[in-house]
Structure 1
């Protein structure tokens, strides 16, 4: 099985995709996304991102071929309910949480996601979608 592990995080105005790097300076912690694999730190190209916006690629694409990340908002073509992609520490898996949240999260089914769901936004850029 070949599973791609990568992340995204939002800087001040745009999204960056790649690997998460955390480093500490004298008085602050910086979280950065490094868009390519690097051979040495000297070669690193890193973008500082807001820690709360970091989300992992779940390894699936929506029905349009778009990568799905933790924090994305999905819509199925067979009903109007929206779902947020979340990680459940209890189950140890990415799951869907209905918007607005009912507290019940459901397992992500591969065939259902790739055939019927599409990414319509995310919880950071599309706050209006969280109102349900």
Structure 2
């Protein structure tokens, strides 16, 4: 049976919320009231880590060729476009994708972000075809967060005794406070003033955090 569900950013918390889509007059709700510009539908596919793929997600194929997912009315289906093709004149970048393309074992498809949280991934040009690099250098991650950067990460999370990988965002949320969240859930956190018996690096290791190094 086809699963129909949506996500959107809560107007209150600015976090992603997931579920059924409801309209009340001019207001839109997915459990909570959401920014209607961020509403995205689940396309019925997952990436190699089991992460659900939604409209407006950005995926990589074999570590490169970033593509945007979007529903195109003209084709009445979800389509893909190479990020580098989006701003080209006299070109229709959108491609209808067959089930065989998604299921080809030679393609390693991975969600690396979305158009709302990661505008840096939406920049066109040939540099978008350079593979991104991930790291577990947690001292570097902490340094980047202390500089005020928000960093795209991958984290483990358990469901029904199984471990899945999800795309998250790491950020500094206060003095000595760090948080890695996705879909309104906090997968890892660290607060220096609470005398943790674990270090920042320990917390990141427990969630198997892997982050995309910026500007590589």
CA distance in 1, matches of 2:65, 2:105: 14
1:60 matched residue in structure 2: 45
1:126 matched residue in structure 2: 118
Q: Once the 2 structures are TM-superposed, how far is the Cα of residue 116 of structure 1 from its aligned partner?
A: 1.6
Structure 1 residue corresponding to 2:78, chosen from 74, 78, 94: 94
Q: Which moved more, 1:103-112 or 1:8-17?
A: 103-112
- The answer to whether structure 1 residue 71 and structure 2 residue 56 are counterparts is yes
* Moved segments of 4+, more than 3 Å: 112-115
- The answer to whether structure 1 residue 22 and structure 2 residue 11 are counterparts is no
The alignment of Structure 1 onto Structure 2 pairs a total of residues equal to: 114
CA distance in 1, matches of 2:30, 2:106: 27
Question: What SS does structure 2 have at the residue aligned with 1:68?
Answer: strand
1:39 matched residue in structure 2: none
Q: Select the structure with the greater relative contact order (CA < 8 A; seq sep ≥ 6).
A: 1
CA distance in 2, matches of 1:54, 1:64: 23
CA distance in 1, matches of 2:39, 2:17: 10
RMSD: 1.8
- The answer to whether structure 1 residue 107 and structure 2 residue 96 are counterparts is yes
Question: What SS does structure 2 have at the residue aligned with 1:129?
Answer: helix
TM-score, normalization: structure 2? 0.50
**Deviations 1:14-68 (CA, angstroms, capped at 9, x unpaired):** 00000111102xxxx211102xxxxxxxxxxxx0110010010000001111000
- The answer to whether structure 1 residue 82 and structure 2 residue 66 are counterparts is yes
Q: Where does the alignment leave 5 or more consecutive residues of structure 2 unmatched? A: 125-216
> Given the superposition, is the C-alpha separation of residues 56 and 114 from structure 1 closer, same or farther in structure 2, using an over 3 Å criterion?
farther
**Deviations 1:80-104 (CA, angstroms, capped at 9, x unpaired):** 2210001111111111011031432
Q: Where does the alignment leave 5 or more consecutive residues of structure 1 unmatched? A: 35-46
Q: Which moved more, 1:95-104 or 1:117-126?
A: 95-104
